Each structure stands twice: as C-alpha cells, then as structure tokens.
Chain A
Amino acid sequence: MLFIIIHVNKDDIMDNDNNHFNNIYVQTKKLVGYKTIQQCTPLDYKNLGFKSGLEVHQQLYTDKKLFCRCPAGMYFPGEDYDAEVIRHMRPTLSELGEYDGTALMEFKTKKNITYRIKNPTTCTYEIDDTPPFPINQQALDIALEVALLLKTNVVGELHITRKQYLDGSIPTGFQRTAIVGIEGEIPLAEKKVRIIQLSLEEDACREVSDFRHQRIYTTDRLGMPLIETVTYPDLLTPQEVVEAGNYIRFMNRSTNKVRTGIGATRQDVNVSIRGGTRVEIKGVAHIKWFAELVHNEAFRQKSLLHISSQLKQRIKDIKKWDLTYQLIDPSLINPLPPSLKYYADSEIKWVAVNLPHFQDILAHFTQPGQVFGDELRGRLKVIACLELENLIHSQDRNELLATVDFSKIRQLLKSKSLDAQLLFWCPSQDLSTAVETIRERCMLAFHGVPNETRKALADGTTVFERVLPGPDRMYPDTDSAPLPIDEERINKVKNNLPPSIHYRYEQLNKWEISRHYWIYLLRHNLVPIIEKIIAFTNYSPKFLAGFFAQDLKHLEGRNSSSNFDYIHLISLFKFISKHNLSPEIAKIMLPVVFNNPNIELESVLTIIGYQKRNISDILSYIPDLRKKFKSIAKNKNINAERNWIMGNLKLLSIGNYPLDKLSEEVNRRVK
C-alpha cells in the first residue's frame, strides 16, 4: 500500500466517520466496471481493447562485462564498498535535436547520485572515466544465437547506441545498447507473437537507496551483458502475457549461455487499452505476477478514462483550468504528519491547494486499494522528492482526513462546492517543483492516461516511476565504431542452435511428462540432460523428469545460492548404469553429489551405506521381519505388515532391485 497510516485519536475518527472516502471508492470502482482477474473472460479484455507487449531482459553468461574487462557476475552488498563517486545528470539533445521528456523530468528532480565502488568489480569504465573497450565477442555470439532463435532479421552492422537514463542508474547517463535483429516471432499455443527486436546492452547499477534528493547505487552489476527481447503488443489477455513471458524465458535458458538466479532475468510489460496509452510496468521479477499486474493496469487506465470524461463534462475550457495555492499555518493540521522528520534541517512550507472541479475525483478508484489522490502522491515522491506521506486531500481516507481542518482551508482558498483541496508540506526548495508536479498531473487527467513507467508492487498494483521515455533519448555512441556481422559468423551460430521451445513442448507431451514439471524443466534447460541420459540408458524420460522436478528442485530450493552444474547429473546416471544399479539409487546419491559435485561416485556409495545384494538375500529377511512385526505391531492388518516390511527392505533394495518389483515380491510372500 502506498499510504502510511497516521495514528489518530479514536474519538476523532468517530466524529469524522462519514465514510465518504469509501463510498466514492466503492461507487467509482463499480462505475468503472472493475472485475477481478478470476471474474474476467477473454471477451472482457477484448471489450477493454487490452493490448500488451513484453520486454524481457536476460543477463548473459560471460566471463567479463560487455565493454570492459571487469569480471561479470560478482556481487557485493551495498554497504561493502571501497570508494564513492558522485555525479549529477543533465539532459542532452537527442540525435534528432529533441530533449526527451523523461530526461527533463529527471533533471527537475535534482538528485545527488552516489556510486559505491568495489574494486574487484569496477574499473574506470564503469564510473565513466574511460571510454568503452571493444564489445565482448562472447556476448555478441550469445545475442546472435537468441536473435536467430527469435527468427529475427539480423543487422548487417552493429551500431552501439546511447539510450539516455537520467535517473543515475548508469554513471554515463546512458546505456550502451545495440540492435542485433529485428522483426521475429515466437509461437504460442494459439497464435504467433511478433518480435520487434533483440538488442544487446549493458546492465545498469543496483539501487541501494533513494531518499529525498539522494540516491545511492552500487556499480557491481553495471556493465554486465544483457539481451532485451521486445515483442509487439500482440498479447490480448493476461494469460497470453504469461505464456509469452515463459516462452521467451525458456528460449533464453535453452541456449545454456544465460545467467540464472535473482535479478538475472527481469521483465518489463507494456499495457494499453482502447482510448488509453502505453504504460510500462518495470522490473517484474516473477512471470506469475504478470497476470495480476496487467489486469489491474487495464482497469487503472479505464478508471483514468472515466475520470477524464467526468472532468471534461464539468470543465468548459480545460486549457484555462488552473489550480490555486496558498501558504498556510501548520496549526490547521493536527497531529503533524510523521514524514516531517525527514526534513529536519529544512524550513518547511505548508501549502493548501485548490483543485477546481475535482470534487470526488481524488477518491476515485484507480487500482485495488488506490485512488486518484495516490497518483499525485506517487509523482510528488518521485519528481519533487517528497517522502510519503506527502499530502492529505479533502476526500482522503478518514484517518488522514481527520488530521486536517479542511473547512478552514476551503475558506482560505475561497473554494467552490465542486472543488477539491489538498494540503502538502515540503522543504522550501522543493515548493515550486511540487506545485508544478500537482498541476501537471491534474492537467494530464483531462487527457486520460499519461505515458508512464510504473513500478510493480508485490500486491499486483503499481506506482509511478517516471515519465515514459521515447525515441528522443537515443543517440549514437561516438566512442565506438560500427561492427560488421558477416554471413560466416551468423552461419557458425546457426549451425549450433538448440531446438525451439515449441519442439520441447511437443517432446514433453510425447514423453507424457506431467505439466506441473514443465516450467521447472524448461526454466533449468533440463530436457537436453534427459535426452543425453536416455541416449545411453533405458531409463524412462518420465522417471528422470519426475526425479529432476522433485528431488533436484527440492535440493535447489533449500540451497538457492548453489551453482550446481547439471553436467554432474549425466555422470551420475552414467555411473549408475555402468554399475548396473537400479536408477532409484539416484535419489539417495543426489544430495551427496549436489553438495560435493566433484566427489568420486564410488565413495558416494560408501557414504550412503550401499551394499551389493541380490534379490534372494533381500527376500531372505522376510520370515524374521514377519516374526518381529507380529511381536510389536498393534495393527495386525496385512497391508500394515506389508508396508512395514517394505520400509525395512527398501534401503537394502535401493540400487539393487527396483522397488516396484520388490513390492510385488513382498506382497506375494506376505499373505
């Protein structure tokens, strides 16, 4: 949730408890026609004019970074650093002579950017004190491979382009990026989704903190090679978005040349509805979050369109609309807001703002748990650097509303009955940006949905991150020469392409692998491992798939930082097959191998206490076990006896005799 609950006196709530906020929220939610994702059918999305496209970022598995020779994939916590560098960003003209909107917004925020440097991961390139070195060829080959898998048209010459980012996430102020291929496609179950482009780019810094005018980054991730796959807005339901996201992710993994783990794959998703506009939701860590996020964004856009039509009905000439504001005395708010503590060293301004004709708009539903007033809050936080809680408005949640005397404010501002009011507080140097930010967002409301980049929250809603950048932020990189990509190079990559994910789907179907296992197997690119194992054994793909998707997954889940190389799985089954062991023994051997990948497999047998026995040895224990069971068991049921005996023989049998067969033998003898 965006808002912090301010603790107020219970009696105050009682006095003010007219539930106005809730009424408007519920009413407008209904007017907009909000349904949950479970209630929505494909037809609902069609009626909304829902369209979505994906941008999937995937780190590549290379030894070194993209434009310098620092090691890739080495991370340190944000508090562990050797030195700091400070920079400010200033917008520059694009190649076509325009300033980019995002760039100007970021310039307004006037942030101090601090970069924390750890010597082993950072050289003078990352801090922009040396020009780029020639591009990492290993990374380019991987990018080419994915470009071919996506069936894109590969460019004749790679041109490094600078994409401006003034948020400071890259010390140069731009990301070096280059298009490798354009216009490809991926097959989903029901349709083909077109690909706009596949580009190769450097990863950005990791953010450590962002508070007021101070943002801190660490430079270890900066410069890591990354590919970005961009689809057309061909995805027409949240389910298709998830399907495409999975397909692209599996395809990247199928190369075996990409990184996995936290932050190695990051998705942005673009959403628009009819009459709305493209909004980008950034940094979605899990594909399963997609559905909820794009669903809610669709209804946020519908809500904003509803707000726009309401405002246009009320206001004759939107061009003449303006807010008015006045500095006021803090005595009108009680208790004082907790966020004041962030501005301890500054002179605070208290500002009352009148928004003509905005009655009930500020409490208008936008997303589950959020209202239009929160759109203002989000922009104030990002653009004017005002920490939350940063405003209270005249239709606010009761607990906030109760702290402000809005009747006095209405008098002061000479408000009319259809106006809305809000109160905010800020250090004096942020005042003009804050007023401008509120004015801008209110005026954007007349036109419906602003072009924005929004940050994904875990509850499926989003908050404002920045104005959506356009092509005006692109600029050729004058520090690097174009690089030809010839046929020979393309053919070399083409001859070693992994099978398509579509083919893998068919293969898994044919093997009758449970659908529950698919995601795990494809995400970890385990199908080629299964293929290799069944090539020299008669083990069933079904057994292997189940073994990986249960036992291996369980081990990995318990040790998420492990870097277990699946090549050891092949050696394991080679060993089992060579020694004529029953394959079930893998379940007991794997935990040992997983923790000591380079161990001699012979000694694993010793560790797990395996002894070679033939079936008659094993079965010869049965008479004694039966006697024992009779003496200790309370439940004399035959099945209980069989299970108990099976349990005792299982460990002796694993590796020596298949358990299902053993069970048959036991059943035959225990009657």
Chain B
Amino acid sequence: MMNDIFKGYKGKALEILKKYNIRVWSEATIKTTRGDFKGIVLPRSENDDDLHIVLKLDNGYNIGIATNTIKQIKEFGYKEAHYKIPEKEFPTSEDKPNIKLFGTGGTIASRLDYRTGAVIPAFSPGELYGAVPELADICNLTTEKLFAVFSENMGPHQYKTLAVAIGEAISQGIEGIVIGHGTDTMHHTASALSFMVQNTPVPIVMVGSQRSSDRPSSDAALNLIHAVKTASESDIAEVLVCMFGPTSDEYGLLHRGTRVRKMHSSYRSTFRTIGDIPLAMVDRNKITPLQQNYNHRRKDTQVNILPYFEQKVSLIYYYPNMQPDIIDSLVDNGYRGIVIAGTGLGHVNKPLYPAIKRACQKNVAIYMTVQTLWGYTHMFVYDTGRDLMSNGVIPADNMLPEVAYIKLGWALGQTEDLDEVKKIMLTPVIDEITEREPYNGYLVFQGGVPEIEQFLKKIHK
C-alpha cells in the first residue's frame, strides 16, 4: 500500500515526487524552467509515460509538467477527491413491478478511475436513482453485480453464471430482468442467453451504452430507462437487446437475442436486427410492437436453464487464399467444432477441401454461415457448395456467424453425438434460423442517392 500515495506514478516521475516529499492530492507549487505552476497533484494513468506529473489547476483544467523542467516542488496543502455519486434510497411502491438489474461490467452511471483513466460504474439502486431518478417512476429495482469485466472478456463461464442467476431470480418471482453489459459482445451474450434460458415467463433485457455515462450526451440513461420500461411492462418474454433505434434521443429498439448484431464501432444506433425486423420500439411513454409473433409474458415462475458450453469451438472468417493449415491446426489442437463465415452463399476455396474432409473424419462439427450477414447459405447452387457438403460441411441457413458459434458451443456442451448436435443446430430455438426473410429485413441505405437524402432530411436515422 506504500505506493498508493503515488497512484499511477512510476520511474522518473515517481522519483521526483519522492524527492520533494509530494504525494497524490498534494496542493503544490512547482517551479520549472518554463515558469511556476500551482495546483493539486493528480494520480496518473498507469499506461502514460513516467516523464510528467499531472496537476489540476484552480480553474479545473488539468495539465502535465515535464519532470526534466522541474526545479522544485513545495506542498502547501492536501485535498483528496472523494467521488460519490449522490446516493438516495430507491423508492419502492407496491403497485410497481419488481425488476432485477444484473451487472456484468457495463457502465450505466459512472465515475472516473484515475489509475487507468477508465470509467468505474455506479451500480447500487441508490446510486442509479441518484443518476437516473426516472427509474423510480417505472419499477422497484434491485441490483446484483455478477462480474466486473469489459464485454470482450465475457465468455462461457460468465454466460453460464448469468443463466443460472437469471433462473434463480425468475423462480423467486421477479417480474422482469435487465442486464447491464458492454456493447462489444452484447450480441454474443444475448444469443448465449437465448439458448441457455428457454421458456422464460418474463422479459430479459440486455442494455448498455455506446457513449460512456460520464458524459452529458450519453445514451446510457435513456437506454436504461427504455430497458427498465421494457422489463417492467413489455409482454415480450424473451431475451432482448434494448439499444438506440436512431442516433437521436428518440426511441430504442427491442431486438431478438439471436438476430441482433453490433454494426458500427461507435454509433449509438449500432445494434440492428439482421434478416428480420426488430420486435418492438420503446420510448419513455410506450412500447410499440413491430412483430406479432413472440413469446408472451406469463404469470408462472417456470423457466428452463440449460447452462452448457464447449470451449473448443472456433469461428473462422474465410478469405481468398486461406491455407488448409488453418483448419488443420484447429483440428490438431483438439477443436470439436468450427463455424465458417464463408463467401457468398457459403463458399471456401478448393485447397481447403482436404483439410475440411480430414476434420469431419476426425469428428469435428463444421457449420457454414455467410459473411454477407444477410441471406441464407445456398450450397446447392454451385458445385463448390455441393463439394463442401459432401466433405461434411453443414449449412446453417441464415444463422448469423456469431450466433452459430455460440450455438455450436452450446450444442457440443450437451452432447458428443454429432447427429444430435446437428439436430440441435438446425432446430431453431428462437428464430436463430428463420423460415423466411421478409423484404424489409435487409435495409442498408446508400447515402447520396436523391430519394435517400430526402428521407434522411425528414427521418432521424
């Protein structure tokens, strides 16, 4: 703990602080070859260099002082910052539904971690009420922090733990579930939960934010309001992703957990339903269904929890000139399942055939999806497809590549019998394969085209 008073400082910067007996949160005057500076010494982000000391000036600005310019430092006070998101007791009332919020590490309300410069989530109901008081108008909220991981660190262990926790909450009679989640792999988790939590009587709503909640324009609060409203009032008892529809603060979309995908690295409106239309729209006042077919909310507390997952499954993105040793090395490393995101209707090049054939002979399950994301595999159309199938590749119809990966891991976690796996894979649990693709299930508009520009001027994208 000795180092704690020098939070984040290392090397030369640390030496200087020690030399002048200065700690983090010291109010200090620093004499340098560039003149004098006065302020509070702030912690330094661990990844930044060791050549500067960070100072907060009176007017709230931060600056860095180069260590090689420092002539002297004098402490004249000490002012430690205490972060506290205003915490107020979350009001409860009997006429509002009881909703549970599971935390996985996404940020809803947050504060800054000086050490890493990252954002630390505020999470207790009291903190959330302090940050988003509107929630209390919708429900009685309890929270449970399951993990504190970035979304890219979510994996099979977390999927299973989450599924079990959801099962428990449902059996205890909760009326809706919200899961705070980082957005990067939210669609992976959404499909995992779609398979692991079946026949839920209540909505299970995943939510996150594209702009961290430490900024005034964050989508976090509105997403959370939409998600909590959905969990409380929606009739859709499925695993859903609830995120911004347009980038404007207007409404959220409820996407089915097996058909949703993050489609932009930074846009608020990044989540899209692929190959179908979303289930519903949600705003502060109402939920507007867009689809008629969904699982309806029930009063009972029955749910099937199927927390299985085989880790030795891979998803490979095919590219021209892919070498067979890619497949070989997976097989040699003991992988039991491979999902290929193939070109066009589901193709790979000829040099891979022997490797694929060898893999199938070694009991590796190989499924084909399309890297175009939209559309079905049609492996009878060209010889290539027919050859691949005869080598043992199974087309996964219009299952999204990431969904197929999750489902194959889930199926192989249940059985080693590849016929059984095939049955599981090709029998839709909840629209991961759909029988038909509606005309409006594929809409990627092209900017610049006059009618699209007219549309964009009127409609908030």
| B112 and A476 within 8 A (CB) | yes
A128 within 8 A of partner (CB): yes
Render B195-214 as a binary contact track against A, CB cut-off 8 A, 1 for contact: 00000000000000011111
| A197 and B460 within 8 A (CB) | no
- In the complex, how many angstroms separate the beta carbon of A451 from the nearest chain B beta carbon? 15
> Most B CB atoms within 10 A — which of A153, A163, A481?
A153
Give CA–CA (A171, B211) in the complex, Å: 12
- In the complex, how many angstroms separate the beta carbon of A97 from the nearest chain B beta carbon? 4
Give CA–CA (A182, B119) in the complex, Å: 29
| A97 and B52 within 8 A (CB) | no
| A92 and B84 within 8 A (CB) | no
A5 within 8 A of partner (CB): no
Give CA–CA (A81, B454) in the complex, Å: 11
Contact A161 B35, CB 8 Å, known A84-B460, A478-B117: no
| B82 and A97 within 8 A (CB) | yes
Render A118-131 as a binary contact track against B, CB cut-off 8 A, 1 for contact: 01000010011111
A445 within 8 A of partner (CB): no
CB interface residues, A 144-158, toward B, < 8 Å: 152-158
A74 within 8 A of partner (CB): no
B192 within 8 A of partner (CB): no
| A155 and B213 within 8 A (CB) | no
| B248 and A91 within 8 A (CB) | no
| A97 and B61 within 8 A (CB) | no
Closest to B44 in A: A482
A63 within 8 A of partner (CB): no
Contact A484 B49, CB 8 Å, known A182-B37, A183-B35: yes
Give CA–CA (A156, B267) in the complex, Å: 34
**Chain B residues with Cβ under 8 A from A103's Cβ?**
216
> Most A CB atoms within 10 A — which of B85, B218, B222?
B218
Give CA–CA (A97, B110) in the complex, Å: 11
Give CA–CA (A84, B61) in the complex, Å: 32
Closest to B117 in A: A478
**Chain A residues with Cβ under 8 A from B216's Cβ?**
89-92, 103, 164, 166, 172-174
CB interface residues, B 214-237, toward A, < 8 Å: 214-218, 221-222
| A89 and B217 within 8 A (CB) | yes
**Chain B residues with Cβ under 8 A from A475's Cβ?**
112, 214
| A197 and B59 within 8 A (CB) | yes
CB interface residues, B 66-105, toward A, < 8 Å: 66-67, 69, 81-86
CB interface residues, B 11-69, toward A, < 8 Å: 32, 34-37, 48-49, 51-52, 54, 56-67, 69
- In the complex, how many angstroms separate the beta carbon of B84 from the nearest chain A beta carbon? 5
Give CA–CA (A162, B210) in the complex, Å: 18
Give CA–CA (A83, B212) in the complex, Å: 24
Give CA–CA (A174, B216) in the complex, Å: 7
**Chain B residues with Cβ under 8 A from A43's Cβ?**
none
| A182 and B57 within 8 A (CB) | yes
**Chain A residues with Cβ under 8 A from B48's Cβ?**
481-482
- In the complex, how many angstroms separate the beta carbon of A119 from the nearest chain B beta carbon? 8
| A97 and B217 within 8 A (CB) | no
**Chain B residues with Cβ under 8 A from A92's Cβ?**
213-216, 218
| B215 and A174 within 8 A (CB) | yes
**Chain A residues with Cβ under 8 A from B56's Cβ?**
95
Contact A97 B83, CB 8 Å, known A90-B216, A129-B267, A173-B217: yes
A199 within 8 A of partner (CB): yes
A82 within 8 A of partner (CB): yes
Closest to B122 in A: A93
**Chain A residues with Cβ under 8 A from B69's Cβ?**
156
**Chain B residues with Cβ under 8 A from A470's Cβ?**
60
- In the complex, how many angstroms separate the beta carbon of A127 from the nearest chain B beta carbon? 7
**B52, B83, B214: the one within 8 Å of A484 (CB):** B52
| B247 and A155 within 8 A (CB) | no
Give CA–CA (A482, B52) in the complex, Å: 10
| B82 and A86 within 8 A (CB) | no
Give CA–CA (A154, B65) in the complex, Å: 9
**Chain A residues with Cβ under 8 A from B211's Cβ?**
128, 172
| B457 and A86 within 8 A (CB) | no
**A85, A131, A153, A177: the one within 8 Å of B460 (CB):** A85
| A93 and B64 within 8 A (CB) | no
Contact A97 B81, CB 8 Å, known A154-B34, A157-B65: yes
- In the complex, how many angstroms separate the beta carbon of A336 from the nearest chain B beta carbon? 32
| A156 and B61 within 8 A (CB) | no
Give CA–CA (A263, B32) in the complex, Å: 37
| B36 and A471 within 8 A (CB) | no
| A478 and B66 within 8 A (CB) | no
| B217 and A162 within 8 A (CB) | no
Give CA–CA (A113, B215) in the complex, Å: 16
**Chain A residues with Cβ under 8 A from B49's Cβ?**
484
| B61 and A161 within 8 A (CB) | yes
New contact pairs (19) apart from A156-B63, A476-B112, A476-B117, CB-CB < 8 Å: A84-B457, A85-B460, A89-B217, A97-B83, A155-B64, A157-B63, A158-B64, A159-B54, A159-B62, A159-B63, A159-B64, A177-B61, A182-B37, A182-B57, A183-B35, A197-B59, A478-B212, A478-B214, A486-B66
Question: Can you give 26 A-B contacts (C-beta < 8 A)?
Answer: A82-B457, A84-B460, A85-B247, A86-B249, A87-B217, A89-B217, A96-B81, A97-B83, A129-B264, A131-B266, A156-B66, A157-B54, A157-B65, A159-B54, A159-B62, A159-B64, A161-B62, A163-B60, A172-B216, A179-B61, A182-B35, A197-B59, A475-B214, A478-B117, A481-B48, A484-B64
* Interchain residue pairs A-B with the least CB separation, the first 5: A157-B64, A173-B216, A153-B35, A474-B60, A156-B66
